[in-house]
Amino acid sequence: MHVTRLKESGEYRRQREELRVAELDLIDHVERVAALRRGLPADTVVDDYELVDVAGGDRVRLSGLFSAPDRALVLYHFMYGKAQTEPCPLCTMWIDGYNAAAPHLTQNVDFALVAAAEPAALSAHAASRGWSNLRLLSAGDTTFKYDIGSEESDGTQTEWISVFTRAGDGSVRHVYSKARRWPTTDASAASTYSARYGTCLTSPRTAGATGIPR
């Protein structure tokens, strides 16, 4: 199968076809993984933690973050606060992307960012980045992040994504959490969450590149 109409060498076309087949296999594998993720039982009840809504300073329960009974809640755990005294630059890059995508994400799920940082510090960093589309939550004085796994007993923070649902009885159920604990730190692993790294993977000069964004 010819992808372009350029005068490509036979060797290029052979390797390109090998790549095309591998890409199709990868799509199938990603869907199999997604099906396993979707099939996880929502039978783990979690406490109805009380967080701080940074925008107004009000306390809000975890159950209050759902806008409708049939919607999932996706929380991004930002590495900022307690032992993480400065905002994580890698998390910041991802959140820049989430801020842009938020109007599209929230058509299907409820989405928010949670951090251990004090509300004022989180608000100041968000303002410096122009995060105007995200709901920001502070969990600093609760055990929420520790219980979910994105915080250690010494206050160390870990980048994390968690998914919750709300049952008919109003209880909040934990469905899935994923940390950035890959066996490698190159772009191949980070591409799951980042348009930056995913795009870099298409370039022979930046594929597999490491480095913290600015």
Instruction: Give the model confidence (pLDDT) of 34-75 as tens digits.
Output: 899 889 999 999 999 999 999 999 999 999 999 998 899 999
Task: Give the global pTM.
Answer: 0.86
Give the C-alpha separation, 18 to 33, whole Å: 23
Pair (18, 57) in one structural domain? no
Q: How confident is the model at residue 197 (pLDDT cuts 50, 70, 90)?
A: low
- Give the tokens for residue 100: 């842009």
Number of domains in the chain: 2
Which domain, by its residues, includes 26? 1-39
- Give the tokens for residue 39: 């099939």
Contact predicate 73/164, CB 8 Å: yes
Percentage of the chain modeled with pLDDT above 70: 83
Could you give phi then psi for residue 5, rounded to 5 degrees? Answer: -110, 20
Flag whether pLDDT at 79 surpasses 90: yes
Residue 68, in any domain of the structure:
yes
Pair (10, 95) in one structural domain? no
Over residues 129-178, the pLDDT tens digits come to 999 999 999 999 999 999 999 999 999 999 999 999 999 999 999 999 98
